[in-house]
Amino acid sequence: MYTEERQAKILNSLSTTGRIDVNELSSLFQVSRETIRRDLRILERERKLLRTHGGAILPEQAPPVSTKSKDMAEPSVKVRTTLNIQEKEIICKYAATKIVNGDTIFVDNSTTCIHLYQYIPKNMQITFLTNSIAFLVECAKTSCPNHTIVCLGGILKKTNLSIYGNVALENAKQYFPSKAFISCTGITNQSQVTDSGIQEIDIKKTLLSVSEEVYLLADHTKFRPAGQVYLSNLSEMDYIITDTLSDYSYLKLSEEIKNKIHIAI
């Protein structure tokens, strides 16, 4: 069976069931799981599906944009944590190599940065600042006396398990991190880093402005889409860490910015 024929059958199955599984497809087509994953990556780049942990779903299964919401509608945190897991983990593993003993780190409320904690050596003295409940849960899974975890207090936003509000913002102003690790909704063709969380954006901007180094962790799906709110310019990032599937050729990047891009493998 030709690759194009197999991919067409994959899409046909997806349109029928709404969800597909890598293991089942591997057995059905008598090919390796890696071959199926490669097919899914190609189809995702063509925006014909969204990859999840162990399979894929239809793009339209993401919630539609609502004009009544303060934030641009996006897949729920439950869905987003299953998307592009392999790329997110590879990116976070690479990013963790930039952390040194004694760092104070801000970790944002993105589902990408959730994976960062597992790769940070437990013998390092590190202080973490975050407004991400999901990241706090990851930290709580391991007992590590060398790590100090600081939760920015405020109002709980249930849709993406984050903290926001004036209390959280005033709390954030007390800190001057050595490093900030963030992700985004998308990078526009004007090299603008955008996000969808209007309520949390001030916290993010505040800590980015005072961090000694800022690391943007952006998998290949972050290039071209745009969020509802401006966060920063790409030139203001110190490191831009992405994966091998990323295509940022649409960006007119200076040599200075190109040198900031690191491909995690």
Whole-number pLDDT of residue 83: 60
Q: Where are the alpha helices (DSSP H) in the chain?
A: 3-17, 22-29, 33-45, 77-80, 85-96, 133-140, 166-172, 201-210, 255-258
Q: Please give the tally of structural domains in the chain.
A: 2
Which residues make Cβ contacts (< 8 Å) with residue 67, sequence separation at least 6?
Answer: none
**Residue 217 shares a structural domain with residue 92:** yes
Res 225: pLDDT = 76
* Residue 228 belongs to domain with CATH number: 3.40.50.1360
| In-domain check, residue 16 | yes
pTM score above 0.85: no
Domain membership of residue 242 as a residue range: 85-263
Q: Are 50 and 171 in the same domain?
A: no
Same domain, 145 and 215: yes
* CA dist., res. 120 & res. 126, Å (int): 9
135 in the same domain as 41 = no
CATH number at residue 27: 1.10.10.10
Model pLDDT, residue 85: 80
DSSP per-residue codes, 204-226 = HHHHHHH-SEEEEE--GGGBS--
Which has the closest alpha carbon to 25: 41, 42, 11, 10?
10
| Cα distance between residue 59 and residue 57, in whole Å | 6
46 C-beta neighbours (distance < 10 Å), count: 10
Residue 166, in any domain of the structure: yes
Query: Which structure tokens are listed for 231?
Result: 């966060």
In a domain, 156, yes or no: yes
Q: Are residues 141 and 244 in the same domain?
A: yes
Is there a domain that residue 78 lies in?
Answer: no
The confidence score (pLDDT) of residue 198 equals 85
- What is the model's pLDDT at position 177? 98
Q: Are residues 28 and 121 in the same domain?
A: no
- Asked if 53 and 180 sit in the same domain, the reply is no
> Does 74 reside within a domain?
no
Whether residue 72 lies inside any domain: the answer is no
Q: What three-state secondary structure class fits 233? A: strand
**Predicted pLDDT at 80:** 52
Structure tokens at 31: 């090919």
The answer on 120 and 33 residing in a single domain is no
Amino acid at 14: L
DSSP 12-40: HHHHHHSEEEHHHHHHHHT--HHHHHHHH
Same domain for 122 and 167? Answer: yes
**Assigned domain for 69 exists:** no
Residue 67: inside a domain = no
State whether 115 and 246 are in the same domain.
yes
Report the DSSP pairing between strands 126-130 and 147-151. Answer: parallel
42 and 147 belong to one structural domain: no
Give the pLDDT score at 149: 97
Digit-coded pLDDT (tens) for 103-161: 999 999 998 999 999 999 999 999 999 999 999 999 999 889 999 999 998 999 988 88
Comparing CA positions, the residue from 80, 112, 119 lying closest to residue 241 is: 112
- Report long-range pairs for 253-260 (Cβ below 8 Å, ≥24 apart): 253/191, 257/191
* Residue spans of the chain under pLDDT 50: 61-73, 78-79, 82
- 103, 215: one domain: yes
CA distances from residue 151 to 109, 119, 127 in whole angstroms, order as listed = 11, 20, 11
Residue 175 is predicted with a pLDDT of 97
